């Protein structure tokens, strides 16, 4: 991934409006910017690699973004789970998991 592709991908990720904590007007603004930078990345790749190859490269880069978002969400869920089990008595969830796994 080139520096240009990386920078545009980071901007696209930052403009993803998946958070529930963002206002509707903020989500609308981020969605507009998301589409703007997505088009910019696609146009850049098509200018550099040609129409078909640029579109393929674009889909590959977006696949990386989707994977990053997916694994970030899973890491967040795991962190929340661990933080709740650490606050629970030792005989609760962790003991149940030990019984299930063993």
The answer to whether the predicted template modeling score (pTM) of the entire model surpasses 0.75 is no
Establish if 91 belongs to a structural domain.
Answer: no
98 in a domain, yes or no?
no
Q: Is residue 37 part of a domain?
A: yes
- 97 in any annotated domain: no
Give Cα separations from 99 to 56, 78, 79, 91, 96 (angstroms): 47, 20, 22, 11, 5
Q: Which domain holds residue 9?
A: 3-77
Q: How many domains does the structure of the chain reveal?
A: 1
- Nearest CA to 5 out of 30, 31, 40 is that of 40
In a domain, 88, yes or no: no
R_g over Cα of the chain? 20
Tell me what the mean pLDDT of segment 23-33 comes to.
92
The answer to whether position 29 is within a domain reads yes
pLDDT at 95: 64
**Residue 87 domain-assigned (yes or no):** no
What are the helix and strand counts (H, E) for the chain?
4, 0
């Amino acid at each position: 991934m080139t520096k240009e592709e990386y920078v545009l991908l980071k901007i696209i990720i930052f403009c993803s409006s998946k958070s529930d904590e963002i206002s509707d007007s903020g989500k609308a603004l981020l969605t507009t910017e998301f589409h703007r930078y997505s088009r910019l990345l696609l146009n850049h790749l098509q200018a550099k690699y040609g129409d078909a190859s640029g579109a393929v490269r674009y889909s590959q880069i977006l696949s990386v973004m989707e994977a990053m978002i997916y694994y970030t969400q899973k890491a967040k869920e795991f962190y929340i789970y661990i933080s709740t089990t650490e606050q629970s008595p030792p005989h609760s969830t962790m003991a149940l998991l030990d019984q299930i796994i063993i």
